[in-house]
Chain A
Amino acid sequence: MTDFAAQQPGLDPLAMPPPGAIVEDIRQARRRAGVRFALAFALTWIVLVGGMALAIASTGRVHPDFIAEHLPFFLGGIPLTIFVSVASIIFATGFALIGALGRISRNPVIYGIASLYVSLVRGTPLVVQIFFIYSALPQFGIVLPAIVAGVFALSFNYGAYMTEIFRAGIQAVPRGQLEAASALGMTERHTMRRIVLPQAVRIVIPAIGNEFIAMIKDSALVSFVALQELFWRTRTVGAANFASFETLLFAAIVYWVLTIFFSLFQERLEKRMAQSDRRP
């Protein structure tokens, strides 16, 4: 022990607690900090959401009885909302996969078609596309049922955005993977199907999750083709009873809860995917 340390009681190794005790103290301090953070976070939300609820209630325009009366009708739209979202994301994934393969194609015609798809669909409003498919095509004798028109419009539109996500995912697979595959004698098609795409899908899963959550909200647009999903039901009842404020508020809350639910689901899925890469 140096003289300097002897003069500083705090630095005297003999005066310090054993290292094991400090490790336990640090662990407990971290845990306490974690609990404090979670509590403060929850409190913040309670105050903010409670404040908003009070502000809304103070307008005197919310009639719980009215909402309760139509609640079964409103909630009856949720299955259709979810069905449209799930069906559309599945078809959109298909469009995106084909689109992405087109966007990395060396064939100028295929590349041209895929690029035009992305450009055209991303360059026009979704709501215009929905009306076009449902209302304009019948002039050419193409009459699609509302559900088909709605799901087709949503998936065709999202497929264009997701094409670029898939393309980026495919191109994010390291070059060495392609070299290893071709050095083993695999054809390009074999390499794409067995080596590149499985890795690309892992890369894009979080992005697809985000698209799905956006899809839940955009599925409200199919109410314009008279599909009686959540938004159509609340809007119709609200307009008929001059109660748009309550019904729209209710619709917003339900969409919010749905997206929270699927965000949690997505988080868990991502964690599981991340683990599978490290499985022994």
Chain B
Amino acid sequence: MTTTHGTTDPFAAPGALTPTGAPPIVRLLDIEKYFGSHHVLQGCTLEVYPSETICIIGRSGSGKSTLLRCANFLEEPTAGVVEIDNISVRADPLHARSRQHREQIRQLRMRAQMVFQEFNLFPHLRVIDNLIEAPVRVKGVSRDKAIATAERYLDKVGLREKRDAFPGSLSGGQKQRVAIARALTMEPKVLLFDEPTSALDPTLVGEVLAVMEELAHEGATMLVVTHEMAFAREAADRVYFIEEGRFAEAGPPQQVLDAPRDERTRRFLARFTGAGGATSGA
């Protein structure tokens, strides 16, 4: 399928939950990123259909987090186009601070909510205020409506009783679940997860992954950078393996994780097999 920009993600395919005939809702087209003279992303193209869960895997330093951060312009790509829900923003590093460009980016970000490795909850605000700050003041939702939405998503992540708590009193797993609820309260078109369990105590990883799996099965559109191979196997429609700033291989998890064709993918996965990660299932 050819996009409006004449570029194609050869690996793209509608997911099991994608409505018939729906076009991709997220397009990362030929994303390039240099840090100084270091060529971190060397032309990454990735298309996500509605209700798909995509996992991006790869070793640290391969560019997977940078790609995700380029998707909502937390990093300005050196070149490329990001399209989310018909908002299309072309990388413009020379005019990154122009008013028009920043406003475009803000429109993009309202449609793509990110969940960070380090949670980044606002420590001076109660949980409920963390959730409604952006809906009320960025989207202009009424306060009552935002609170109702926020409480619904707190229910979903199982933390309704922490509504009036300060983030400092929560465990790491609870913080990350609140962060997911905060992202959901913005009702985005796609959720971006940047290694959401990497900063967690191993005993707390499960509760976060359980919430993410539930979202995936309910048809949320998710782009997940992760080292959790069991999650990728269970929840992903497609898995992309990135190596030195390029996608080396992509496809359904059974293919990429169990029968990788690329030698580099095999070498990468071998480490997880050793640790019991890639083959252990859920």
Chain A residues packing against B (C-beta within 8 Å):
106, 174, 176-177, 179-187, 190, 194-195, 198-199, 202, 276-280
Contact = CB atoms under 8 A, between A and B. Distances in A.
Contact of A180 (B97, B122, B138): B122
A277 B167 CA distance: 8
Contacts of A190: 137-138
A184 to B, nearest CB: 4
B186 A185 contact: yes
B74 interface: yes
A180 B175 CA distance: 14
Given A174-B120, A190-B137, 20 more contacts: A106-B97, A179-B120, A180-B122, A181-B122, A182-B74, A183-B74, A184-B109, A184-B113, A184-B138, A185-B134, A186-B138, A194-B133, A194-B137, A198-B124, A199-B123, A202-B124, A279-B169, A280-B165, A280-B166, A280-B169
Interface string B159-187: 00000011011000000000000100010
Contacts of B168: 277-279
A184 B118 contact: no
Contacts of B165: 280
A182 B109 contact: yes
Contacts of B74: 179, 182-183
A199 B124 contact: yes
A187 B133 CA distance: 12
Listed from nearest, the 5 A-B pairs whose CB atoms lie closest are A180-B120, A184-B134, A176-B120, A185-B138, A185-B110
A185 B116 contact: no
Interface string B79-123: 000000000000000000100000000100110011010101111
B123 A176 contact: no
A277 B168 CA distance: 6
Which residue of B106, B120, B123 has the most chain A CB atoms within 10 A of its CB atom? Answer: B120
Contact of B113 (A106, A183, A194, A202): A183
B122 A185 contact: no
Contacts of A279: 166, 168-169
B71 to A, nearest CB: 11
B41 to A, nearest CB: 19
B106 A179 contact: no
A198 B124 CA distance: 7
A280 B124 CA distance: 12
A280 B168 CA distance: 8
B45 interface: no
B51 interface: no
Contacts of B182: 184
Contact of A184 (B97, B123, B186): B186
Contacts of A187: 106
Which residue of B72, B106, B124, B182 has the most chain A CB atoms within 10 A of its CB atom? Answer: B124
A63 B88 CA distance: 85
B139 to A, nearest CB: 8
A182 B122 CA distance: 13
A110 to B, nearest CB: 15
A202 B168 CA distance: 15
Contacts of A278: 166, 168-169
Contacts of B123: 199, 277
Which residue of A177, A181, A183, A277 has the most chain B CB atoms within 10 A of its CB atom? Answer: A183
Nearest to B121: A180
A223 to B, nearest CB: 41
Contacts of B166: 276-280
Nearest to B179: A180
Contacts of A181: 122
Given A190-B137, A194-B133, A277-B168, A185 B106 contact: yes
Nearest to A198: B124
A181 B110 CA distance: 11
Contacts of B109: 182-185
A275 B72 CA distance: 36
Contacts of A182: 74, 109
A177 B120 contact: yes
26 contacts: A174-B120, A176-B116, A176-B118, A179-B74, A179-B116, A180-B114, A182-B74, A183-B74, A183-B109, A183-B113, A184-B109, A184-B133, A185-B109, A186-B134, A186-B137, A190-B137, A195-B122, A199-B122, A199-B123, A277-B124, A277-B168, A278-B166, A278-B168, A280-B165, A280-B166, A280-B169
Contacts of A106: 97
A280 B137 CA distance: 26
